Amino acid sequence: MLHRIFWVFAFTLILSGCRLDEMFKQDPRGVFDEPEIYEAADRFAALFESRDAEGLAEMVHPLLVDVFGGSEGMRGIFGQLPEGEIHVSMYFAEPRIGDDRYGDLEGAPLYLFLYDVRINNNNAQLQLVLAQNDDTCCSVTYILLNETIGPPSKYHDFSFANKGPLHYLFAFLLVAMPVFHLVTAVHCGFSKGVVQRKWLWIPFILIGFWGFKFNWTTGEVVFILLNIKDGMVNFSLFNLNLLGAGYLRAGMFTPWIITIALPIGPVWYWIRRARMVQKSAVEDNF
């Protein structure tokens, strides 16, 4: 019976994790109403895939030609990449407003695009910012290329790719803890003589206290009750988790955080039951 409950929770976790990941995915081609913005972005992507430094240099905004260094500057970007066929895929878009870093374009509307870049087995993230050039659209105002481990669009996904033992441990506890709390609460409800005031014990059993937070992306583990981060001591006196476990993600560019609480109630209940059984065994011997 227990193993069936466990696998039901495991299947639910995997299914919900996959579906929740999809909730954070964006359709980048539905952000801007103007088709010419996407035409410019697609033109840039095609030139980038073909390593056309001259063509990319021609797309640079006239106010920023000296900053990019013309075609030589673009060749410098390609110099960061390994040999092989380049594949780019847009996965995010967002409107921005130019700040003081953009000089004369401060306050102007900008269009940010993020791309997955794949060359053989190598991955990188490409950031592209476009802006209006007089009455035409659009010119390049910013390019940034960062090497990544795996596709950047999947960096924070709830998956087991390139994960270590701690990820498997916390994934197991994420399933096992609710099962442990529920089974203990059911046993408490139907058992006789183990505890009094079951109406207090059952809520106590169903709640976990403090415990640990686990960053699924980085593998960082934090003890909730007391931890030190960035030179500061953090103390959390009151922290409860229903069924002793949970997981949360705040947005597309944030990691999944798994919380595993300490099962004080269930453990205390089973200790009391073990003592009762031991006491009964001693009495029977007499």
pLDDT tens-digit readout, 220-238? 998 887 777 767 777 677 7
pLDDT at 116 over 60: yes
The average pLDDT across 77-86 equals 86
pLDDT at 240: 84
In the predicted structure, residue 24 carries a pLDDT above the cut 60: yes
Neighbours of 233 (CB within 10 A): 8
Cα 68 to Cα 71: distance, rounded to the nearest angstrom? 8
Q: Summarize the confidence of residues 24-48 as an average pLDDT.
A: 89
CA angle 164, 222, 8 (to 5 degrees): 60
d(Cα 214, Cα 222) in Å, to the nearest integer? 7
Say how far apart CA 147 and CA 12 lie, in whole Å. 34
Query: Which of the listed ranges 18-22, 24-28, 182-186, 275-279 does the model predict with the highest average pLDDT?
Result: 182-186
> Which of 146 and 283 is assigned the larger pLDDT?
146
Distance CA 181, CA 12 (A): 17
Q: What is the mean pLDDT of the chain?
A: 83
- Average pLDDT score over residue span 189-204: 85
**Domains of the chain: residue spans and CATH:** 2-17+157-285 (no CATH), 26-153 (3.10.450.50)
What is the amino acid identity at position 51?
R
Q: Which of 216, 220, 204 is nearest to 262 (CA)?
A: 204
Task: Look at residue 2 and tell me whether its pLDDT is greater than 70.
Answer: no
- Least confident window among 89-98, 242-251, 276-285: 276-285
Amino acid identity at 131 = A
Q: What percent of the chain has pLDDT over 90?
A: 33
For residue 8, the Cα-to-chain-centroid distance in whole angstroms is 24
Q: Which amino acid is at 216?
A: W
Sorted by sequence, the CB contacts under 8 Å of residue 56 that are 6+ apart come out as 44, 47, 48, 71, 74, 140
The band of 22, judged by pLDDT with boundaries at 50, 70 and 90, is low
E-strand spans in the chain?
A: 86-97, 109-119, 122-133, 136-148, 207-215, 221-223, 226-229, 232-235, 240-242, 245-248, 257-262
For residue 204, pLDDT over 90 is answered with yes
Q: Residue 161: which residues within 8 A CB-CB, separation 6 or more?
A: 150, 154
Q: Look at residue 216 in the predicted model and tell me its pLDDT.
A: 92
Give me the mean pLDDT over the 4-22 stretch: 57
pLDDT over 60 (residue 16): no
Beta bridge partners of 233: 228
